[in-house]
Amino acid sequence: MAINKVEICGVNTAKLPILTNEQKETLFKLIEQGDNKAREEYIRGNLRLVLSVIQRFNNRGEHVDDLFQVGCIGLIKAIDNFDVTQNVRFSTYAVPMIIGEIRRYLRDNNAIRVSRSLRDTAYKALQTKEQLTRKNAKEPTVQEIADELGIKKEDIVFALDAIQDPISLFEPVYHDESDTLYIMDQVSDDKNQDDVWLENIALKEAMKRINDREKQILMLRFFAGKTQMEVANEIGISQAQVSRLEKTALKHMKKYI
């Protein structure tokens, strides 16, 4: 996705205006009075916000123009629902709205198709979760959500799992001035633990202690997965010789592991 392209959907992003706080306040008062021109100016003055959000999705393979249009829909919804009396910055309110709109678009257009009934169940569960959180001032359990909707707990879990977006292992989860922590740094890997890593080093060092013929036989037998007869045919010796050389090489390597 060419996220750094200048013109998106016919809009020259290099010339987008930046509104001051005073201009935003003035325009919003006009918007509340039904001034469509002020609304359009406010939208245009916040398109840079949409551009900053869609950069988070630049590894999804989606066309930047499509994401920009969807992000603009989220921006417009945020403008139409923003409450100035809540003493919250517009950008703070708008960014989650824009992200949510893009994520819905990506879910609905995902190559991994999720049935409409599953999506409906998942969205109902998310809405119910928000309602119960506001009502009880705490996050509800899955069972509480299921009871509220009259749906089995297992169906709620299955539906919510089905709409989860795949996440890149290189997605940053924390960043300070010097270091960035990625998701892959928090994922355990049984194949790359310290003891396995040390064993691999020891194996490589031991392989250096045997001659080329023995090394070739071990590579064909244990890395290429060939039988002793196949190895014998490939290097031009008898199976008995292959067996003898293999045993000698393994015995010799054990001294160094």
Q: Note whether residue 167 is domain-resident.
A: no
Q: What is the pLDDT of residue 62?
A: 73
User: Looking at the structure, do residues 102 and 202 belong to the same domain, yes or no?
Assistant: no
pLDDT-derived band at 144, boundaries 50, 70, 90: very high
Structure tokens at 156: 């709620």
Which pair of structure tokens corresponds to residue 52? 């900053």
- Computed over every residue of the chain, the mean pLDDT equals 78
Paired tokens of 97: 């709205």
228 located within any domain = yes
User: Would you say residue 163 has pLDDT above 60?
Assistant: yes
Q: Which residues pair with 43 in a beta bridge?
A: none
Q: Which residues pair with 182 in a beta bridge?
A: 172
> Are 5 and 100 found together in one domain?
yes
Over residues 222-229, the mean pLDDT reads 83
Q: Do 82 and 94 meet the contact criterion of CB atoms below 8 Å apart?
A: yes
- Residues with Cβ within 8 Å of 256's Cβ and at least 6 positions away in sequence, in order, are 202, 205, 206, 209
Inter-residue contact 255 to 205 (CB < 8 Å): no
Establish if 89 belongs to a structural domain: yes
How would residue 169 be classed by pLDDT, with cut points 50, 70 and 90?
A: low
- pLDDT interval class at 1 (50, 70, 90): very low
Last residue of a domain, one of 57, 89, 110: 110
What Å distances lie between residue 113 and 51, 66, 106, 117, 119, CA to CA? 27, 19, 11, 12, 10
Instruction: Show which of 76, 110, 144 is a domain's final residue.
Output: 110
- 208: CATH: 1.10.10.10
Interatomic CA distance for residues 236 and 245, integer angstroms? 13
pLDDT-based confidence at 193, cuts 50/70/90?
low
Are 9 and 103 part of one and the same domain?
A: yes
pLDDT tens string 97-114: 888 888 888 877 765 555
Flag whether the pTM goes above 0.85: no
Domain boundary among 70, 92, 110: 110
pLDDT exceeds 60 at position 189: no
DSSP the chain: --TT-SEETTEEGGG-----HHHHHHHHHHHHTT-HHHHHHHHHTTHHHHHHHHGGGTTS---HHHHHHHHHHHHHHHHHH--GGG---HHHHHHHHHHHHHHHHHHHT-SS---HHHHHHHHHHHHHHHHHHHHHSSPPPHHHHHHHHT--HHHHHHHHHHTPPP--TT-EEEE-SS-EEEGGGGS--GGG-HHHHHHHHHHHHHHTTS-HHHHHHHIIIIIS---HHHHHHHHTS-HHHHHHHHHHHHHHHHTT-
| Cα–Cα distance measured from residue 13 to residue 1, given in angstroms and rounded to the nearest whole number | 16
The mean pLDDT of 184-207, rounded to a whole number, is: 60
Which domain range does residue 93 map to? 1-110
